[in-house]
Amino acid sequence: MTLRVRPHAPDPEGCVLDITPESAGWGHVGFKVCKLAAGQTARGGEAGREACLVALSGTVDIEVAGERFAGVGGRRSVFEDAAPGAVYAPAGAAYAVTATTDAEVAICSAPGAAGRPPRRIDAEQMSREVRGRGTNTRYVRNILPETEPADSLLVVEVITPGGHWSSYPPHKHDRDVAQEESQLEETYYHRLSPPQGFAVQRVYTDDRSLDETVSVEDGDVVMVPRGYHPVGAPHGYDLYYLNVMAGPKRTWIFRNDPAHDWIVRR
Q: How many CB atoms lie within 10 A of CB 22?
A: 9
The arithmetic mean of pLDDT across residues 52-74, rounded, is: 98
Q: How many domains does the chain have?
A: 1
Residue range(s) defining the domain that contains residue 127: 4-264
For 118, residues 6+ apart whose C-beta sits below 8 A from its C-beta are 64, 65, 67, 69, 87, 88, 89, 90, 93, 95
Q: How many CB atoms lie within 10 A of CB 8?
A: 10
Dihedral, 201, 204, 210, 216 alpha carbons, nearest 10: 0
Whether the full predicted model's pTM is greater than 0.85, yes or no, is: yes
pLDDT in tens, 119-166: 999 999 999 999 999 999 999 999 999 999 999 999 999 999 999 999
The enclosing domain of 49 has a CATH number of 2.60.120.10
